[in-house]
Structure 1
Amino acid sequence: MKTPWHLWLIGVLSLLWNLGGVFDYLMSQLNVESYMGAMTPEQRAYFDGFPTWAVVFWALGVWGALAGSVLLLLRSRYAAAAFAVSLIGLLVNTIHLFASQGSAAVDLMGRGALAFTALLIVVALGLWLYARAMARRQVLR
């Protein structure tokens, strides 16, 4: 089947979008002061106190999204699975935020960051659904 033009558009845009997540993850995990210094002391303590399992799910979210974008551009049916892993990683860490912080999550992260997290979830869900639809139409092999 001929590859639809929108696969290339969504693939490239998702790759650029997900590279932002990779940047955030690497700057945080490498504890780059010029990046981490922009956080409040409370935010820094929250990220410094991440349990190992939460870091693992964060990594799954970030690297799964990057893999999904690359696999989508390669027209691989495994793109949907990679995006699913990414969505799970994102959801687990979002649940971790609210389970550990409760209503204080709004004060800790700020409304803008929480709105961005909601956008991340919508985009991740959309990418998974898109890749799944392309696999079902046999655009992905």
Structure 2
Amino acid sequence: MELTKKAPWHLWVIGVLSLLWNLGGVASYLATELGQLEQMEITPEQLDYFYSFPAWAVAFWALGVWGSALGSLLLLLRKKLAVWSFGISIIGLFGTTYYERMVAAVPESLQSPGQNLFAAAIWVITFSLFIYARRMAAKGVLT
């Protein structure tokens, strides 16, 4: 039986904050897939865009949001599977980004500098969580 090291304080902080962050992505995904976007303040053009994602793009989006949320939960449970889960979320993010940047006709209202900054933040946070989980696994904190 392998003994694990005591979890550092930052694991709990990063685990909780990342879970809250990733639950925001899950909420966005569920609102879209359950047809609840009409309750939000978005334009008909934006509604059409979000509801027109092809199945393959929705599948990548699901991998991204659910992979990240599960990765955060696994991080809090101190499981090495967090690394794999965050890795899967990167694959999902890649597919979603490919669709949004190379395939889709994104409405101009969703192409603001703020939107682009938010998209970049998602990439930075997702990769950072993957690297963090790998380091914690390598140090024996995750089993």
Relative to the length of structure 2, the TM-score reads: 0.90
1:10-34 CA distances to partner (integer Å, 9 max, x unpaired)? 0000011111111111111111121
How do 1:41-120 residues align onto structure 2 when only pairs under 5 Å count? 41-101=44-104, 105=106, 107-111=108-112, 112-120=114-122
Pairwise CA distance, 1:57: 0.7
C-alpha distance in structure 2 between counterparts of 1:43 and 1:78, whole Å: 36
Match for residue 133 of structure 1 among 120, 132, 135:
135
- Given residue 39 of structure 1, which amino acid in structure 2 is its aligned partner? I
Q: How many residues align?
A: 137
Gaps of 5+ in 1: none
Over the matched positions of the two proteins, sequence identity in percent amounts to 50
1:25 and 1:59 in contact (8 A); partners too: yes
- Given residue 9 of structure 1, which amino acid in structure 2 is its aligned partner? V
- Given residue 137 of structure 2, which amino acid in structure 1 is its aligned partner? A
Pairwise CA distance, 1:47: 1.4
- Given residue 133 of structure 2, which amino acid in structure 1 is its aligned partner? A
Relative to the length of structure 1, the TM-score reads: 0.91
